[in-house]
Amino acid sequence: MKLKGFIEVTGLPYRTGQSYLSGVREPNAEGMQIICTRMRININWLLTGSGAMFIDELECNPEGEEITLLENFRKSNEVAKKAIYQVAKTLSDELNQ
């Protein structure tokens, strides 16, 4: 995806999107939540590179997905664990509003 399309889909500021796509900066929890929600990207794939890239490609297997997510969470470093927790909390809060 080119920068212009990424910015249009995510609604992120130009420089933020540019720094994410160029690898100069990694998204914080809020940035990951925006990217995953608006682009329908699987958070597990974004953080670990494993599994289906897009939410639409995930099999309907909640137990298996939950186990994989927990396994990947446990393998993550502390920064990644905090990011995963924050994204999950943000998504949960939005769904419960």
Considering only residues 41 and 91, tell me which one the structure prediction assigns the higher pLDDT. Answer: 41
Asked whether the beta carbons of 90 and 34 are under 8 A apart, the reply is: no
Please tell me the distance from the alpha carbon of residue 68 to that of residue 87, in angstroms, as a whole number.
Answer: 17
Per-residue pLDDT tens over the stretch 24-71: 999 988 888 888 888 888 888 888 888 888 887 655 555 667 777 788
pLDDT of residue 25: 94
pLDDT of residue 67: 76
Total-model pTM: 0.56
